[in-house]
Structure 1
Amino acid sequence: MHPPAWSDPPFTPLEAGDPPDIGGYRVLARLGAGGMGRVYLATTQSGRRLAVKVIRPEFADDPEFRRRFGQEVTAAQRVQSRYTAAVIDAQVDGPRPWMATAYVPGPSLAQAVTANGPMPEETVRALLTGMAEALQAIHGSRVVHRDLKPSNVLLAGDGPRVIDFGIARAADTTPLTRTGMRIGSPQFMAPEQALGRDCTTAVDYFALGSVIFFAATGRTPFGDGPDTAVLFRIAHEEPNLDGCPESLRDLLRRCLDKDPEARPNATAIRAELTADADADAPSAGWLPDDVTRRLPAYATTPPPPPHPGTAPHMATAGTTPIGAPPRPYPGPPPGRVFPVPPPGSPISPGPRPPASSGSAATKIVIGGVAALLLFALIITVGVTAAHRSRSERQPPLGAAPSGAATNSGGGTNSGGGTEDGKGIGSQLGHYTSINLSSGYSVTFADDPKHPTDKVGESDLSYDGYAINANKLSVLPPGQSGNYANCLDNTRYASRLGSEYLIKGKLICATTDSGLVGLIKIKETGSEPTSYIMFDLTVYQGTPPTPGN
């Protein structure tokens, strides 16, 4: 799906609230939006571009939709044709289901005809041949498109691409469609769809006839107007084929037959176009010049967002998700204690560089080192004083807040210790059913049971699409959730998308102060806002080395 207008450039910049990545794919720009959701241009780590459709929350909340969506995605992944956009990846179980397909660098048929008028007859014949072959592959995988229309046909330099096949079926029995919301465009529906009857592959050939007539004339065969009027004409009146090329008129009339059994299939259509079924197949130069001149714009890199803080990015260690407050200058957050050298420990700036008598550069270096040593001394004194003040008014982490079950021992003890006497690997707290909404975060050492909106000062945050932390790792299925396994799993990331936020998934989060949180996902949802629910067990890890 692409923007409805013939725009230059063809991409819509990201806005505040758009995800910086989806399923690990970096989001570059918006491509469009429709009844099912919003579509983003994204890229893999190797640079391959994808079109990622994120399903609307209204559908995501319906279990039956998710079940059907999963079925249709699985079936769609089997479709192999040069005239379809291949389904590359999908996520059904996350807070917002999504599906990624190969990006097609070209406008939609709707855009091209709206901007430039009807297509030449040779282009229309090539379009019909390519679309018929696409439908043959789609139907061969036991998928019915159900929503074939000009905006779901993209025009690439080497032929058309049919997109979004089968997805409309997932919404057929959701509460939204049962209460009157329609998925599909009335002008391109078949009579049996308009009358609410069972749909077979024949509905796609009816839509094919309407789409080809639109490409050839710029009009629809049953006219425009209110949806109810158009649907009535589709169900009960004959199409108006005025202006249709004579060589295609009879074929399109049969595609638009009221009787599904009377419509030709893909094989018959291709054979009827010419004795040599490949003679009219799309090839280089198949599009009119006005459209061909536009194609390079769809292969360009989208411009960066105009406002700082909305640029898409792949979160890495030390970065902050879009919409989150900037991280403070690196240093111990309030209430955290970094081990410092005991009083009297020598502090060495390292080997002295060779002296250069009278050198101004040498004097600057010596002055800079002295300033750094003074700064380190000030920070050490300040942190120690803050810790003493905090310890006078707040119990240690092992004394968990109300609602948390604690365990002062347990876990594995490697023989190390911390300032509060807890051994490395010991359990400091266990918290159940934490609700973390989009834009909120938790701090393991404070009160994880009650998230706050201070994302930049936290240990774990959620932005509606992914969780973010200093170090995150996912325990393999079947592995027990404990400190030792968290310690052994070193495939770290600073951000985990919705594909990992699945019920029962075990995730380890290591903070910059050395605490380890074991997260067990219990639930995800989107009402009234996107959220995750999880249990959290906090362990005492290895504190950072002084100076790190």
Structure 2
Amino acid sequence: MLPLRPSDPPAIGRYRLAGRLGTGGMGTVYLGRTPGGRPAAIKVINTQIQDQPEALSRFQREVETLRTVRNPFTASLIDFEVTAPPFWMATEYVPGPTLAAAIKTHQALAPDLCRGLFAALAEALDDIHAHRVLHRDIKPANIILSVTGPQLIDFGIARAEEQPGLTQMGMTMGTPGYVAPEVLLEQEIGPAADVFALGATMAFAATGRAPYGKGSPHTINNRCIEGRIDVDGLPEDLASLVRDCVAREPGDRPTPQEIVDRCRTEAALVENSSYQSIIAKQPAARPPAPQGPGARETVAFQPAEPAPGFAVSEPTRVQRAPGGGQRRLVTSLAIVIALGSVVGLLVGLAFRPDSSTGARPGDSASGNPATPSPEASGPATDTSPGIDPRPTTLTGPNGTCVSVPETRADGDRPSTQPCDSSALQQWGLTAEGLVKIENKCLDVGVGARDNGTPVQLWECNGTDAQIFVRNGEELQNRASGRCLTTESGEPDDGSLFFLWDCSGGNPNQRFAAPDA
């Protein structure tokens, strides 16, 4: 948790604020307490989007969903204000790690623990679906392992079965690797899509590996469509249940109650010694006193984890090309960020904040540059003025390296990968602020560059869309004023990069060049 900033309010409604749990696409989540001392997670919608009807509707719908679904598997809604700004809601504070964090720390879960967790989450789904609510973004980061059992969080894109969506035509909300084929191809949303996501989530929990492997969102989504789930090494009963949950046809998937029956659990999940070991390392839920600038205190959630009761990231938006069947999926990472999101200094790199070449004639509104500049079109080892002749790896959060696909094509998405010193991770760095590999540069396109704008590769042209300048400890894109960011401070291999407001201190935006 981070201390409050000078711009933060001391209180929201009747809740005195103690610190920041995180900042995401919709707003900021604070740890607060009632006058009587009860802790609560308080989500306040960003002032920048208070006048956006779709954002406000999504927030109001999340509040209504939490009012509708009251069970042991979700954080209870305590209070809210959705009629006048500032818009906010408060839920009970639920300490515990997310499933994603638990796997990162403890590796794959034992089969008996997986069966118990599978059954408990299926029971949660059964209860939610009984209220005619679809979660629509079940994944390891949206599951908290609490002392009373798992809890589902982030109902930001949940909706009633009969309720129309708020997304644009051709856009599907969800996270690659956890989105069902019928959602990707036809935007057909139903309870079976949540079962698919649960199956993929449990594949991750049982193997410790991404359920559909690593790669770009396009690649991962195609594997989902093709049914290439990774269950290698699992006991046959567990592997069979996972495969059935992610069956291509929705009607072939088991119901949540059938999942519970097939798990055949006898002991309570919270009595499992492995589960107890995971949650025993989490400190008690207690709101600390406000702290001075730069001070931190470890509480139930680290800065890179979703805040309890809320996920502070918006899901990936997957764009579908026209046509039926297994059409080409063109994916773009939308508003996603975990708590705090901070950019560290790109060690040893000289980026001039005041350098500018300006946009070149012929740049299109689509973000496709017309002509590469001579000084930016050479390989990473070019020795022309302004180019660092020493190729270097760029290490990002969690010890990963910034890597590009083998194709190195315009529009390809760089991602975090294990550092291997390969040519796919050797970057040239120019004094003008270009970050390049061969003749391709990091690029954010032309036009609107809001939070969540994807960072891609494009032929170097020296425009502002490709200039990243140093701003204190942040690597800032000059065209947008926003910073290079990963989804969390501990990204998985294959996590993509995007732009987000520079926040000044958390690991999501920290990069270094150890070889420079």
TM (norm. structure 1) is 0.49
Match of 1:221 among 211, 226, 235: 211
- One-letter code of the match for 1:100? A
Q: Give unmatched runs, 5+ long, in structure 1.
A: 1-10, 312-548
Distance 2:69 2:165 in 1: 24
Structure 2 counterpart of 1:292, from 276, 279, 283:
279
Q: Unmatched 5+ residue regions in structure 2?
A: 298-516
Output one character per residue of 1:221-270: Cα deviation in whole Å (capped at 9) or x when no partner: 21122112212221234312213333311111111011111111111111
Give the structure 2 partner of residue 304 of structure 1: 290
1:185 corresponds to 2:175? yes
Instruction: Note if contact 2:172-2:187 (Cα within 8 Å) is conserved in structure 1.
Output: no
Structure 1 or 2: more helix by fraction: 1
Are the aligned partners of 2:134 and 2:158 in contact in 1 as well (CA < 8 Å)? no
Task: Tell me the residue number matched to 1:432.
Answer: none
Aligned residues: 295
Q: Contact 1:255 / 1:263 at 8 angstroms: preserved in 2?
A: yes
Aligned residue number for residue 15 of structure 1: 5
CA offsets, 1:418-442, max 9 Å, x none?
Answer: xxxxxxxxxxxxxxxxxxxxxxxxx
Q: Aligned partners of 2:75, 2:222: CA distance in 1, in Å? A: 33
Name the residue aligned to 1:259. 249
The secondary structure found in structure 2 opposite 1:27 is strand
Measure, in 2, the Cα distance between the counterparts of 1:180 and 1:305: 46
Find out whether 1:81 has 2:71 as its counterpart: yes
- Alignment partners' CA distance in 2, 1:308 and 1:144: 40
Instruction: Give the structure 1 partner of residue 224 of structure 2.
Output: 234
How far does residue 148 in structure 1 lie from its aligned partner after superposition? 0.9
Which structure would you say has the larger Rg? 1
Q: Tell me the SS of whatever aligns to 1:299.
A: coil
Q: Which residue of 2 aligns with 1:148?
A: 138
Correspondent of 2:19 among 17, 29, 35: 29
| Distance in 2 between residues matched to 1:293 and 1:301, nearest whole Å | 19
Cα pair distance change 1:13/1:24, threshold 3 Å = same
Task: Provide closer, same or farther for how the CA distance between residues 102 and 286 of structure 1 changes in structure 2, counting only shifts above 3 A.
Answer: farther
Distance verdict in 2 for CA 1:29–1:121, change over 3 Å: farther
Contact 2:201 / 2:211 at 8 angstroms: preserved in 1? no
Residues 35, 194 of structure 1: alpha-carbon distance in 2 compared, 3 angstrom cutoff: farther
Q: Is the 8 A contact 2:3 2:294 kept in 1?
A: no
Structure 1 position 121, deviation (Å)? 2.0
* Equivalent AA in structure 2 for residue 212 of structure 1: M
Residue deviations 1:73-93 (CA, integer Å, cap 9, x gap): 223212232222122222223
Cα shift readout 1:331-363 (whole Å, capped 9, x = no counterpart): xxxxxxxxxxxxxxxxxxxxxxxxxxxxxxxxx
Q: 1:430-509 alignment to 2 at 5 Å?
A: none
* Equivalent-residue separation in structure 2 for 1:285 and 1:37 (angstroms): 36
- The alpha-carbon distance between structure 1 residues 302 and 119, as it changes in their structure 2 partners (threshold 3 A), is farther
- Within the alignment, does 1:272 sit opposite 2:259 as a pair? no
Residue identity matched to 2:126: Q
- Over 3 Å counting, the alpha-carbon distance change for 1:267 and 1:308 in structure 2 is closer
> CA RMSD, aligned part only?
3.1
Go from structure 1 to structure 2 and tell me whether the alpha carbon gap of 1:84 and 1:204 turns closer, same or farther (over 3 Å shift). Answer: same
Segment of structure 1 superposing worse, 249-258 or 299-308 = 299-308
Would the alpha carbon gap of residues 287 and 20 (structure 1) be closer, same or farther in structure 2, given more than 3 Å must change? farther
1:168/1:184 contact within 8 Å kept: no
Residue 104 of structure 2 is aligned to residue 117 of structure 1 = no
Work out whether residues 21 and 30 of structure 2, in 8 Å CA contact, stay in contact via their aligned partners in 1. yes
How far apart, CA to CA, are the structure 1 residues paired with 2:221 and 2:51? Answer: 29
The amino acid of 1:252's aligned partner reads V
Q: Establish whether residue 135 from structure 1 lines up as the match of residue 125 from structure 2.
A: yes
How far did 1:303 drift? 5.2
Q: SS of 1:28's equivalent?
A: strand
SS of structure 1 residue aligned to 2:124 = helix
2:95 to 73, 85, 105: 105
- When normalised by structure 2's length, the TM-score is 0.52
Larger RCO: Structure 1 or Structure 2 (Cα < 8 Å, ≥ 6 residues apart)?
2
8 Å Cα contact 1:14/1:30 also seen in 2: yes
Q: Over residues 257-314 of structure 1, what are the superposed CA-to-partner deviations in whole Å (9 max), with x where a residue is unaligned?
A: 111111111111111111xx6x24322455446523312x242443532239999xxx
Shift of 1:64: 3.9
Q: How far is 1:137 from its partner?
A: 1.5
